């Protein structure tokens, strides 16, 4: 974390500071993204994964809470590449753009308040285990209904829901949580989407289930179809169905593809990483690290 993008330019990280009176700090009025960039040792190159897609989602999130972005999609994509280059890392990193209500102002509301945009980057390995598989618990917290928050927007304030679920899971000795939607069907993890394999088919909850429209979720759908000839069905998943799944995994920018081997202490199948999950991981990591020419459009070189 040597440099950040802050108030319109790249500055030393230590200079990128906001006030304790900042609206976003007080009320959670910010939207954000999590982008990965993968270091390819053989190519001596770093690849930013789905840069444009993340900024398209950021634009949607920003408009959901009336944040005006001073920069175009192209500008933000370019700042990201410039910032990665300036930091000079030769390892996998995580990129965090934030658009926020930047004014020092007491009082709720979303209009008539200044906005700003910043980016920081940080070295980042695996967020969840990707080799042995993880143990998850079904959370007592449910996802927040779309009647209470705009659906599909990645709003910082909304992440108290994810944090409560994650904290509860860790307190109970699990690695991660599965949250149900307000009506009780399976939604997603605290920071990742969920896939189930059943009878050779892939199943994932539809966006109606109050889940974040994950960029990895779509990428997995594409890879499964193109490379393994497996279609994905988007449908409701009842909680009980999880226990009889052949395979389960989380996917997300941070989580990548993280196999789930236990739910609420009950083993999924034989409690080992399943073959479809493993195949998807192999294909996914080749594509994201810039080693598969077929998926070159997914990645943008930094150096």
Q: For residue 302, give the 3-state DSSP assignment.
A: coil
Which of 50, 101 has the CB closer to ligand PMP? 50
Which of 3, 205 has the CB closer to ligand PMP? 205
Residues in 128-187 that interact with ligand PMP by CB under 6 A = 162
**What's the N-to-C CA distance of the chain in angstroms?**
18
Among 139, 156, 204, 253, contact with ligand PMP (rule: CB under 6 A):
253
Task: Tell me if 97 contacts ligand PMP by CB under 6 A.
Answer: no
Which of 69, 128 has the CB closer to ligand PMP? 128
Closest to 115 (Cα-Cα) out of 74, 65, 81, 76: 65
Residue 276 tokens, joined: 């479809």
Task: Tell me if 188 contacts ligand PMP by CB under 6 A.
Answer: yes
In the complex, what is the shortest distance from the CB of residue 251 to ligand PMP, in angstroms, rounded to a whole number? 6
Question: Which one of the listed residues 66, 85, 132, 154 is annotated catalytic?
Answer: 154
Closest to 262 (Cα-Cα) out of 170, 137, 178: 137
User: Which listed range, 16-24, 72-80, 163-171, 189-197, lies at the site for ligand PMP (CB under 6 A)?
Assistant: 189-197
CB-count burial class (<10 Å; 0-12, 13-18, 19+) for 178:
buried
Diameter of the chain measured on Cα atoms: 57
Q: Give CA separation, 12 vs 9, 38, 272, in Å.
A: 10, 23, 45
Which of 210, 276 has the CB closer to ligand PMP? 210
Binding mask 40-79 for ligand PMP (x = CB under 6 A): ----------------------------------------
Closest to 100 (Cα-Cα) out of 69, 135, 121: 69
User: Which listed range, 132-140, 213-221, 233-241, 289-297, lies at the site for ligand PMP (CB under 6 A)?
Assistant: 213-221
Question: If you search the block for the tokens 């370019």, which residue do you land on?
Answer: 78
**Beta bridge partners of residue 260, listed in sequence order:** 134, 248
In the complex, what is the shortest distance from the CB of residue 296 to ligand PMP, in angstroms, rounded to a whole number? 20
Which of 3, 192 has the CB closer to ligand PMP? 192
- Dihedral in degrees, nearest 10, Cα atoms 196, 31, 139, 182: -80
Among 84, 177, 215, 257, contact with ligand PMP (rule: CB under 6 A):
215
Q: For residue 120, give the 3-state DSSP assignment.
A: strand
- The yes-or-no answer on residue 154 being catalytic is yes
Kind plus residue range of the DSSP H or E element containing 140: strand 134-142
User: Which listed range, 64-72, 208-216, 222-230, 267-275, lies at the site for ligand PMP (CB under 6 A)?
Assistant: 208-216
Closest to 1 (Cα-Cα) out of 95, 64, 80: 95
Among 133, 137, 214, 274, contact with ligand PMP (rule: CB under 6 A):
214
Which of 24, 95 has the CB closer to ligand PMP? 95
The DSSP annotation for 240-271 comes to GGGGG-SEEEEEETTTEEEEEEEETTEESTTS
Number of residues that bind ligand PMP (CB under 6 A): 13
In the complex, what is the shortest distance from the CB of residue 143 to ligand PMP, in angstroms, rounded to a whole number? 8
Q: Which residues bind ligand PMP (CB under 6 A)?
A: 34, 162, 188, 191-193, 212, 214-217, 252-253
Q: Which residues are catalytic?
A: 154
């Amino acid at each position: 974390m040597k440099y950040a993008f802050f108030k319109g330019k790249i500055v030393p990280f230590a200079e990128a500071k906001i006030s304790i009176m900042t609206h976003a700090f007080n009320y959670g009025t910010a939207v954000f993204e999590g982008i990965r960039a993968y270091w390819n040792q053989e190519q001596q190159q770093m690849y930013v994964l789905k840069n444009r897609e993340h900024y398209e989602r950021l634009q949607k999130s920003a408009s959901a809470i009336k944040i005006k972005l001073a920069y175009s999609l192209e500008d933000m994509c370019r700042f990201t590449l410039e910032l990665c280059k300036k930091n000079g890392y030769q390892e996998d990193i995580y990129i965090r753009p934030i658009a926020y209500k930047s004014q020092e102002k007491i009082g709720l509301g979303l209009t008539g308040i200044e906005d700003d945009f910043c980016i920081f980057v940080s070295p980042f390995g695996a967020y969840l285990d990707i080799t042995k598989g993880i143990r998850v618990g079904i959370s007592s917290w449910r996802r927040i209904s779309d009647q209470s928050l705009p659906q599909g927007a990645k709003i910082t304030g909304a992440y108290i829901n994810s944090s409560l679920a994650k904290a509860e899971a860790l307190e109970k000795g699990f690695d991660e949580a599965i949250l149900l939607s307000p009506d009780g069907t399976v939604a997603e993890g605290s920071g990742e989407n969920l896939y189930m394999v059943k009878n050779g088919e892939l199943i994932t909850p539809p966006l109606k289930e109050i889940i974040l429209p994950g960029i990895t979720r779509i990428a997995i759908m594409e890879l499964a179809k193109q490379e393994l000839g497996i279609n994905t069905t988007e449908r409701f998943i009842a909680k009980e169905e999880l226990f009889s799944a052949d395979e389960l995994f989380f996917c997300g920018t941070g989580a990548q593809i993280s196999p789930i081997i236990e739910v609420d202490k009950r083993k999924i199948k034989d409690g080992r990483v399943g073959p479809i999950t493993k195949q998807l991981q192999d294909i996914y990591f080749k594509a994201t690290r810039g080693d598969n020419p077929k998926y070159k459009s997914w990645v943008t070189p930094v150096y």
